[in-house]
Structure formats: structure tokens, C-alpha cells
Structure 1
Amino acid sequence: MLINDEIQRQVLPTIVKATAATPGGDTEQRSASQLAMNPGQQVKAEIIATLPNHMYLARIAGELFNIELPIIMEPGQAMNLIFVSADPRVTFQYVPSNGAESIRFTQVGKWLSTVVENAAPLLPSGPLVEDPMQGADLIAARLREALVQGGLFYESHLAQWAAGNYATQELLKEPQGRLSKTEAKEDADPAKVKQERADGATFADPSTLSLVKEQLSMLRSGLLTWQGEAWPGQDMELVVSRDQGEDGEPAIQANLAVELPQLGAVQAFLKISAEGLSVELACGTPEGTRQLKDGAPDFKAALSSVGLYLGRMAVKDVES
């Protein structure tokens, strides 16, 4: 398992995202140096006011923040938080009132900060396909496989598996699942392993720290990012996030960026909601823009053939 049971049970549900609140009601981000807080430092949060959607206005280290909490609080109450990071978003961790648990959470907060600062970037295993002529269907299937089986959602899949809604073989395809096969080594000292876990020495397998870093980044930013090669030599970047449609209903937004030999730099901005699919394409060359516009009817027909309604499509130059 990537993050042990203690971390899953205590840490993940207690992450507190915070946004600095300015007198005008706008929000801004602060760096760790501006906040004068060190990762792992315990601070007191005083609740000033209750806001909609489980949000609170709180005073932390002399600054006002809008924060979302996993517990119900009233104005005038206070609690302890652990400062985790300010990059890319100010993040705290809720600390239970029990003193022993506070010490435990401080250790975990410091460990999380170390992972964020020192772990290497998460690298893809290889190109999605060996040849672009293998077709878009295979590229899409391989991309889905990379996202679903890459380990970022392992804990969620584990919960589904425990409820009987996720296949064991699918779980074992993920990096953490593959580790579970070799977790119990014959030469391991059971007493030593038990003591290490009790002391918190094995928060995660060292070989998966890059994945832990990516999970924490996604947890804080709300962005699912994939960077790799669509085929050998063809870099691709995909960023997926939650959004809202024009009617306020939930929507998914995806930004795709590639550099193609004939079209040049191409960026695709997609939004999927109950209203349908909205697509905006930006191309790096005038000729590429013309080709994309000429291909728009075929693109719309291809989407319609798989049951997707294209509500809006726009093509423009990158510079415009």
C-alpha cells in the first residue's frame, strides 16, 4: 500500500485548504515566507464567522483565511492546525484535541512537507502507443489506463474493492498493488516491522514517494495532470479539473497541449457538462488554424457518432 492505514485513516480526511481573505472580499495566495510559518509548525485557528458550504472565516497567525473544515465549528471557538505547505495553495492539517494525536500529526505534517520538497517528479512509464497510425481509439484507451491504473486513485479504488465493487486483479495493476505482493518478505523480522509501523517510520514505501507527492499536489490544487509521450518523440500534457456549466451544474474541464509537426503548437480547451461538449482550439500557425477549421465538420460528426453533442466549437491562432 502506498500510504499506510494510519495515514489514510487520519491524514487524508483532515487536509484543510486555506485562501487568504482580503478586506475587499477578494482572495490571494501567500508564500510560506510571507506567512512566516514552517512546514510542520502547529498554529491556532480562531473561528471568526461561519460561511456557506462548510467554509469558515478564521484568524491564523494574525492573518484572515477562508478555510474548509472536516468538523462543525462556531464563531469564537479555536482549534489547532498543522501548517503543511503554501505551494501551490496554503494548506493546513486539522489536529484533534488529544495531545498524543497532536504530536503524531506534527510528525506526519513534517513528513508530508519533506515529500513535497524532495521527492522527484512522477515520470510516465513510456509512450501511450508505439506508432500514431495505431489510431485515436487506442491512444484514448491507453491514456485512460495510465490515469486509472497510475496509482493516483489507489486509496479510492481500495475502498471500492473493500465494498466488493472493484476487481482484485485491477487493483494489483496499480503501483501500490504491485508492492503488496512483496510486502511480506521471508527475511523480515516481524517484531522490527511492527515496531517501525508503531513508530511511524514507514509512512510510505520509498519507491513511491514521487507518487505520494503527486497525490498531495492533486489534493491541494484540485488538478489532475498527466505529462508524457503520446508516441515516441511526441510530448503531450493533459490537465483535468472540475468546473461548472452555464447553468451552475457540475462540469469537467480538460486542457490538452501538444506540439505537432505540421500544425505546430496546438492547445485544446474542452468542457463537458449536461449541456454537451464545448471545444476551443488554439493553433500556432495560420495554416494549422485553417486545417483545423476545415476539419471541424468531420470532428463534429465523429463526436455525434459516439453520442457526444458539440454545443460550441471555436478555432483561433495561439497569438489571438
Structure 2
Amino acid sequence: MERFSVKAVDRIAPVIPALPAGDLRQEAFERQLQTQVGKSMPVAVLARLADGSFLVRVAEQHARMALPAGTQPGTELPMTLVSTSPRPAFQQAGAGQLIHPTLVHQDLPDLRAGGPAALAAFKAQLAPGADPAGADPRNAHVSLSDAGRSIARILAAAQGPAGEAAAIRSAAPLAGPGTPEPARLAQALQGALAQSGLFYESHVAEWADGKRALPELLREPQMQRALADGVPKGMLAETDPVAAQLVSQQLATHENGRVAWQGQVWPGQDMQWEIHKDAPEGGRQQPGDAEPGWRSGLRLRFAGLGEIAASVVISGDQLHIQLKADSGETRALLRARAGELAAALGAAGSPLASLDIHSARESDV
């Protein structure tokens, strides 16, 4: 898989202070949101507090937000999650400001049922003269640059009906009819990602440095659209839904370290493929920790074997494979040929560290 990087478009001011060490609840909240970047999320407004902020419920958590003064309690606001680093940031449609939720650490058991007692108690803590320790300067509005507002509009324009980013889709099978040659199929899969447009900017930089040939660059969607429509029209992601979807995929890939592909590997054989970084233990990488490994997962359905799911994990020089199948006969066949798989991987220079074969019903893929 190719390395990818996206440079920041601008610096956001003011600087947001870091969260205190050991804020486990906030860390869990951020981990929960990591896969939702670029998606629209409902924010339920529960009450206006004495300090002018609002008590809300977002992602099943109670938090304070600095919403516009005219916001009415009892309403639900759709907001786009723009980023989770250095802390979660939301944006209302058409607004040019980021809003940061600050989790409420008090237990509010009656709020979901609409009970007033817990809400009144919480509001009393923020009344004039109350201890201001709960106030959080990080919850202030932060202005977005023009580039930041453009990115937010692109993210909103690229959302599907369920707010889910689409996978890369190949229009044609990667291999011809018959049994594909493994080496050529692997090369075709690599090309499907490399020429998807997700890594276009890094490929342009490589071309400028003489490390990539121009014909390779011309096969990517951005160049294809520019050649077909003219550069000015082809690059307007805000007004072009296809370009907006691609930019949204690039941002989500950079944020989450995850790429999904769907298509036919050969005529009539569909495959779902996903590659992502393994999350470090505890959700955060610590100084001195080894670089997170990569996990590749795919699903295939064969006429004689049924559905088979495979998960391949590469961590350092260790290769781990997990195979799942619903059919007991298929699992028995896979176990019987496990030695051949291990021998082939060893001959290819990728010795197998572990192989696990079991039913798909025993655990999630």
C-alpha cells in the first residue's frame, strides 16, 4: 500500500490548549468519533446554561457547546464532524466557525427522560457566583479560513444518504475470465488503489521530483477529468459532486488511515476489500511505541465454498492471517491446505507467524 499525506491548508487560531493527561472519558469520546469525520451527526439541544453555553447530547454523550444565541432548547441540530484532532470539532451548515464540545462529567440520569431535577442541579453549578472551574476556554468559537470553509462545504456535499463515505469502486474486473495469475492479480489490486486518485497530490510531487512517469499520472481521475473538462472546471470540487466525493475520500483516508475498495476481481466474482492501520493499545500511541501495523480484510463468495472472509495483519516482520467460513466443509478444506499456504508464503519471503481458521459466527470480522 502506498504512503499518503495531506498538508494542512492553514493554521487555525487561536491555539487550543491540550486536554489534561488522564482524561479517559474524553479520550474514549474522541475514539468513538474517529470513524465519523466528514459525516453529519444530530446534536440534541437540551438547555441553555447561565454562562450562555448550551447543554447538548451528541454521540450518546452529554456535553457543553457554545452555540449561537438564538438556538432553542428542545431542537436537534445537524452538524458535520470536521475533525477529531487535537479535539473534536463540529460545524453547522453554512457557518464559518468550529464548535468544540466539552464533556459534562456530572451524572445526569434523568435528562434522557426529560426530568427537570438533574438539569436544574447542573444549571445551578453554572449560575452566577458558582465555581467557574467547569468553564472551558477551548469551547469558544474558532474561525475557519477560506480554505477550511471550502473543505467543510466539500465534506457536506459529498455525504451520501446515510452520511457514509463511499468506497473506491472499479468499473471493470481486475482480471480476465478464468483462474487469474496471483502475481498479476496482486499488481492489479495495487494499481486499483494507486490510480484511484486518493494519493494524487503525493504522486504529483513524485512526478515533479522525477520519481513517477507522466503516463502513470494521466491515468488518475483528477487528470482524466481535467483533460476531459478543462482544468478550471475539472478542479472545482465544490460544484462537481464526483470531485467532491473524491476529496471527501482523501480527507477521510488521511484522518482515519482507512481505505475501502469494492469491485470484481474477475468477471462475476465480487470482492470487498479494506485496509487500515491497527489502532494502538488503549487508542493512543505513546512515545517509544512501535509503529502501528496494517490490517487488510476482504470478503469473497464462491459458488462451491460459500462466503470466506480473510484478515491479514502485518506488524513489523510478523504476518498473521485469520480465515472465516460458515461452511464446516470449507473450514476443513482450508485447514487441510494450510501447510501449502505457509510454504508458499515462506518461499515468497513472508513467513507466516500465525493462521487461525474458524466459523464467521464465532466472532466479528
TM-score bucket (shorter structure): 0.5 to 0.7
Residues in 1 aligned to 2:261 and 2:169: alpha-carbon distance in whole angstroms: 9
Query: What is the identity percentage for the equivalent residue pairs of Structure 1 and Structure 2?
Result: 27
Partner of 2:3: none
Q: Report which of the two has the higher share of strand.
A: 1
The equivalences for 1:137-156 within 5 A come to 137-156=183-202
RMSD (Å), alpha carbons: 3.6
Q: Distance in 1 between matches of 2:142 and 2:327?
A: 51
Aligned pair partner of 1:297 in 335, 339, 344: 339
Q: How far does residue 22 in structure 1 lie from its aligned partner after superposition? A: 6.6
CA distance in 2 between counterparts of 1:165 and 1:77 reads 43
- CA drift at 1:113: 1.0
> Secondary structure of 2:357's partner?
strand
Query: Using a 3 Å threshold, how does the CA distance of structure 1 residues 204 and 309 change in structure 2: closer, same or farther?
Result: farther
Instruction: Describe the shift of the 1:176–1:106 C-alpha distance in structure 2 as closer, same or farther (beyond 3 A).
Output: closer
Which residues in structure 2 correspond to 1:197-236 (within 5 Å)? 203=238, 205-236=240-271
Cross-structure match for 1:32: 41
Closer, same or farther: CA 78–165 of 1 in aligned 2, 3 Å: farther
**8 Å CA contact retained: 1:268, 1:282:** yes
- Does the residue aligned with 2:191 lie in a helix, a strand or coil? helix
Paired position in structure 2 for 1:89: none
The alpha carbon displacement at 1:281 in A equals: 0.6
Aligned residue for 1:165? 211
Shift in Å, 1:266: 0.6
Equivalent-residue separation in structure 2 for 1:81 and 1:286 (angstroms) = 57
- Distance in 2 between residues matched to 1:301 and 1:233, nearest whole Å: 30
Give 1:264's aligned residue: 306
Q: Give the secondary structure class of the aligned counterpart of 2:196.
A: coil
Q: 1:215 to 1:242 in 2, by over 3 A?
A: same
Partner of 1:243: 278
1:275 and 2:317 matched? yes
Q: Find the residue that maps to 1:217 and give its secondary structure.
A: helix
Unmatched tracts of structure 1, length 5 or more: 1-7, 46-59, 65-74, 83-94, 96-101, 186-192
Equivalent-residue separation in structure 2 for 1:138 and 1:9 (angstroms):
33
Q: CA deviation at 1:149?
A: 1.0
Q: Is the 8 A contact 1:264 1:284 kept in 2?
A: yes
Aligned counterparts of 1:300 and 1:81: Cα–Cα separation in 2:
54
Matched, 1:131 2:174: no
* Amino acid across the alignment from 1:276: Q
Deviation at 1:77, TM superposition (A): 6.9
Aligned residue identity for 2:247: V
TM-score, normalised by the number of residues in structure 1: 0.67
Q: Which residue of 1 aligns with 2:159?
A: 116
Change (3 A) 1:204 1:242: farther
Alpha-carbon contact 2:155-2:244 (below 8 Å) kept: no
Q: Deviations over 1:280-303 (max 9, x none)?
A: 111120000011001111101111
SS at match of 2:361: coil
How far 1:205 sits from its partner (Å)? 4.9
2:158 counterpart SS class: helix
2:220 is aligned with what amino acid?
E
Counterpart Cα distance in 1 of 2:329 and 2:311 = 20
Q: How many aligned positions are there?
A: 255
Structure having the higher Rg: 2
**Distance in 2 (alpha carbons) for counterparts of 1:179 and 1:24:** 42
Q: Against the structure 1 CA distance between its residues 106 and 175, is the aligned structure 2 distance closer, same or farther, given a 3 Å change threshold? A: closer
Q: Distance in 2 between matches of 1:274 and 1:9?
A: 27
- 5+ residue gaps, structure 2, are 1-5, 13-18, 44-57, 59-76, 80-91, 105-135, 282-288
Compared CA separation, residues 152 and 76, structure 1 to 2 (3 A): same
Shift of 1:212: 2.8
Measure the CA separation in 2 of the matches of 1:268 and 1:134: 18
CA distance in 1, matches of 2:248, 2:265: 23
